[in-house]
Protein backbone atom coordinates (compact mmCIF):
# COMPACT_ATOMS: atom_id res chain seq x y z
CA UNK A 1 0.00 0.00 0.00
CA UNK A 2 1.42 3.33 -1.11
CA UNK A 3 0.44 6.11 1.33
CA UNK A 4 0.26 9.35 -0.64
CA UNK A 5 -1.71 11.69 1.63
CA UNK A 6 -2.88 12.40 5.16
CA UNK A 7 -6.35 13.90 5.50
CA UNK A 8 -8.38 15.12 8.45
CA UNK A 9 -11.34 13.04 7.28
CA UNK A 10 -12.40 10.74 4.45
CA UNK A 11 -12.35 12.74 1.20
CA UNK A 12 -13.30 11.16 -2.14
CA UNK A 13 -12.99 13.72 -4.96
CA UNK A 14 -12.75 10.99 -7.63
CA UNK A 15 -15.31 8.32 -8.49
CA UNK A 16 -14.17 4.77 -7.84
CA UNK A 17 -14.36 1.89 -5.42
CA UNK A 18 -12.72 2.44 -2.07
CA UNK A 19 -12.03 0.49 1.09
CA UNK A 20 -11.89 2.42 4.36
CA UNK A 21 -11.22 0.95 7.76
CA UNK A 22 -10.15 2.09 11.19
CA UNK A 23 -6.89 0.55 12.37
CA UNK A 24 -6.05 -0.15 15.98
CA UNK A 25 -3.35 -1.66 18.16
CA UNK A 26 -0.08 -2.72 16.53
CA UNK A 27 -1.41 -2.01 13.03
CA UNK A 28 -2.28 1.55 14.07
CA UNK A 29 1.26 2.08 15.40
CA UNK A 30 2.73 0.65 12.18
CA UNK A 31 0.63 3.02 10.05
CA UNK A 32 1.59 6.01 12.23
CA UNK A 33 5.27 5.09 11.86
CA UNK A 34 4.89 5.34 8.05
CA UNK A 35 3.80 8.99 8.03
CA UNK A 36 7.35 10.34 7.66
CA UNK A 37 7.59 12.36 4.46
CA UNK A 38 3.90 11.93 3.57
CA UNK A 39 2.15 15.17 2.56
CA UNK A 40 -0.78 16.24 4.73
CA UNK A 41 -3.81 18.34 3.85
CA UNK A 42 -4.76 19.11 7.46
CA UNK A 43 -5.61 22.68 8.43
CA UNK A 44 -6.44 22.26 12.12
CA UNK A 45 -3.42 23.83 13.89
CA UNK A 46 -2.99 21.26 16.69
CA UNK A 47 -3.54 18.25 14.43
CA UNK A 48 -1.18 19.73 11.84
CA UNK A 49 1.54 20.27 14.47
CA UNK A 50 1.07 16.73 15.82
CA UNK A 51 1.32 15.18 12.35
CA UNK A 52 4.40 17.22 11.50
CA UNK A 53 6.03 16.11 14.76
CA UNK A 54 5.57 12.54 13.45
CA UNK A 55 7.35 13.44 10.20
CA UNK A 56 4.44 14.36 7.91
CA UNK A 57 5.04 17.33 5.62
CA UNK A 58 2.67 20.07 4.42
CA UNK A 59 1.19 19.31 0.99
CA UNK A 60 2.29 21.68 -1.78
CA UNK A 61 -1.33 22.78 -2.23
CA UNK A 62 -4.44 22.81 -0.04
CA UNK A 63 -6.43 20.94 -2.72
CA UNK A 64 -6.41 17.15 -2.38
CA UNK A 65 -6.97 15.86 -5.92
CA UNK A 66 -7.75 12.27 -5.00
CA UNK A 67 -6.21 8.81 -5.05
CA UNK A 68 -5.11 6.68 -7.96
CA UNK A 69 -5.94 2.99 -8.00
CA UNK A 70 -3.81 1.24 -5.36
CA UNK A 71 -2.98 4.46 -3.53
CA UNK A 72 -3.90 5.10 0.10
CA UNK A 73 -4.62 8.06 2.32
CA UNK A 74 -4.49 8.05 6.09
CA UNK A 75 -7.47 9.86 7.63
CA UNK A 76 -7.18 11.21 11.18
CA UNK A 77 -10.56 12.56 12.32
CA UNK A 78 -11.27 13.43 15.94
CA UNK A 79 -12.75 10.37 17.62
CA UNK A 80 -16.54 10.33 17.69
CA UNK A 81 -17.86 12.00 20.83
CA UNK A 82 -14.66 13.94 21.57
CA UNK A 83 -15.34 16.96 19.38
CA UNK A 84 -17.68 19.89 19.93
CA UNK A 85 -19.61 18.89 16.79
CA UNK A 86 -22.44 17.27 18.78
CA UNK A 87 -23.26 20.50 20.65
CA UNK A 88 -22.10 23.20 18.21
CA UNK A 89 -22.80 21.49 14.88
CA UNK A 90 -19.14 21.86 13.89
CA UNK A 91 -15.74 21.59 15.52
CA UNK A 92 -14.20 24.84 16.76
CA UNK A 93 -10.88 25.33 18.50
CA UNK A 94 -10.67 21.67 19.47
CA UNK A 95 -7.41 21.05 21.33
CA UNK A 96 -5.57 17.99 20.01
CA UNK A 97 -2.48 17.08 22.00
CA UNK A 98 -2.04 13.37 21.33
CA UNK A 99 -2.76 10.80 18.64
CA UNK A 100 -5.12 8.96 21.01
CA UNK A 101 -7.63 11.78 20.43
CA UNK A 102 -7.74 10.85 16.75
CA UNK A 103 -8.98 7.80 14.90
CA UNK A 104 -6.62 6.42 12.28
CA UNK A 105 -8.37 5.20 9.14
CA UNK A 106 -6.80 3.76 6.02
CA UNK A 107 -8.54 4.75 2.80
CA UNK A 108 -7.49 2.80 -0.31
CA UNK A 109 -8.80 3.24 -3.85
CA UNK A 110 -9.25 -0.29 -5.13
CA UNK A 111 -10.77 0.37 -8.56
Average pLDDT over residues 21-26: 96
pTM: 0.85
Residues linked to residue 5 through DSSP beta bridges, in sequence order = 73
pLDDT of residue 106: 98
Residue 20 and residue 10 in contact, taking contact as beta carbons nearer than 8 Å:
yes
For residue 12, give its domain range: 2-109
Q: What is the DSSP string of 21-79?
A: EE--HHHHHHHHHT-TT-EE----HHHHHHHHHTT-EE-SSS------TTEEEEE-PBP
- Kindly report, residue by residue over 87-97, the tens digit of the pLDDT: 665 555 556 65
CATH of the domain at 101: 3.40.50.11170
Residues linked to residue 6 through DSSP beta bridges, in sequence order = 40, 74
**CA dist., res. 90 & res. 44, Å (int):** 13
Q: Is 16 helix (H, G, I), strand (E, B) or coil?
A: coil
- Kindly report, residue by residue over 47-66, the tens digit of the pLDDT: 899 999 999 999 999 999 99
Per-residue confidence at 79, pLDDT binned at 50, 70, 90?
A: confident
Q: How many domains does the chain have?
A: 1
- Kindly report, residue by residue over 2-19, the tens digit of the pLDDT: 999 999 999 999 999 999
pLDDT of residue 1: 83
pLDDT of residue 92: 56
Dihedral (CA of 97, 20, 80, 86) sign: positive
Amino acid sequence: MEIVAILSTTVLPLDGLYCVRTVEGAERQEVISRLVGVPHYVGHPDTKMLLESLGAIPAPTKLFEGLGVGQAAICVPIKQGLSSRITDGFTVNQAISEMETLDVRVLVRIE
